[in-house]
Structure 1
Amino acid sequence: MKRFYELLAPHMDAAYNLARWLTANESAAHDVVQESALKAFKFLHRFEDGNAKAWLLTIVRNESYNWLKASAGHRWVAIGEGISEDDMALSHALTPEIDAIRAEDIVLLQQALKALPPVFREVIVLKALEDMPYKDIAKVTDVPLGTVMSRLARARAMLKTEFMKLYRHE
């Protein structure tokens, strides 16, 4: 039990972050992280010294995709999901107008990210939000390093396109 907490507890926020972006559902993300933590605990004896965060996020990724497959065809409506006041207050703004513009941009960026297919969304989340090195992203996603870099480049281009589409419609 002690080894579990030492190795994996520090990475639970990252696990939830990845699950939430992949499932696009707050409740499902909690379920995915809980199931992933149970699996990590059960199979902790198989983990050899290495990158515990990458190992845990690999489990979370797999569980997220299992959830997506199981829920295929179901429309999930997330009630009350949005950005918190802390998320909106990215920096000290000079005016309420600047705050409002930044909040709108955050919402648009979140919508654009949600519009990406999961394989592209996950590399953006792992790199931009979790600040993982490319080699660790390759471990988590189980693809070659070159594929990670290619997906990230494509994901960034897709994100920009989606953001601009949403921005023009605002």
Structure 2
Amino acid sequence: MTTDGDRRLFNEVVLPHLDDAYTFARWLTGNATDAEDVVQEACLRAMRGTHSFAGGSARAWLISIVRNTAFTWLARNRPKALVLTDDLESAERASSNMPETATPETEAIARADAALLEAGIAALPPPFREALVLREFNGLSYREIAEATGVPVGTVMSRLARARALLIERIGKEMS
């Protein structure tokens, strides 16, 4: 049973970062439904563990819980294989900078570019994909990524550099 203090701390620490948690879970699991399951389970873990939050970055603390929950969930529910994302067209449309007066041609090009980028990110090895998503989609700092993943900041920087290089190489090959 949780106390009022635990609930208050949960509301202050976890709730503001649920969107980041979902975005990260979505990239790890590959689809919305599984990401919702992972975030729900992570929230339960966070609620039970609010007393272990020692301050610092609440977002990194929650992302760390989501990461561990996602890996546990994937091991339990999926074969050990590369997890690819499904079509994220609706998410792309929601966050797109495409002007309202876009033509069908520009929309088709934007969708093709988004699909190419998505496939490139999905093809990255999990440690590289994880670092890239946490930095570029969730906006975590190097220190927050290091805290969330349990690796040194130098390793985070190395993984990001390698992820970006692999992504550029893959997209370059696809476009040529």
Q: Identity over aligned residues, as a percent? A: 42
Unaligned runs of 5+ in 2: 1-6
From 10, 14, 28, give the equivalent of 1:8.
14
- Contact residue 26 and residue 78 of structure 1 kept, 8 A: no
Does 1:129 find its partner at 2:137? yes
Q: Which residue of 2 aligns with 1:98?
A: 106
1:120 aligned residue: 128
Offset, 1:74: 7.3
Structure 1 outlier segments of 4+, above 4 Å? 73-79
Moved more, 96-105 or 55-64: 96-105
TM-score, with normalisation over the residues of structure 2?
A: 0.85
Give unmatched runs, 5+ long, in structure 1.
none
Change (3 A) 1:92 1:146: same
Deviations along 1:5-28, whole A, 9 cap, x unmatched?
121111001001111111112221
Partner amino acid, structure 2, of 1:118? P
Instruction: Name the SS of the counterpart of 2:14 in structure 1.
Output: helix
Distance 1:167 1:134, change over 3 A: same
Question: RMSD over aligned Cα, in angstroms?
Answer: 2.2
The alignment covers a number of residue pairs equal to 166
Distance 2:107 2:99 in 1: 9
Asked if the contact 2:146/2:152 (under 8 Å) is kept, the reply is yes
Preserved CA contact (<8 Å) 1:112 1:166: no
TM-score normalized by the length of structure 1: 0.87
Rounded to whole Å, the distance in 1 between the matches of 2:94 and 2:30 is: 20
Kindly provide the amino acid, as one letter, of the partner of residue 90 in structure 1. Answer: N
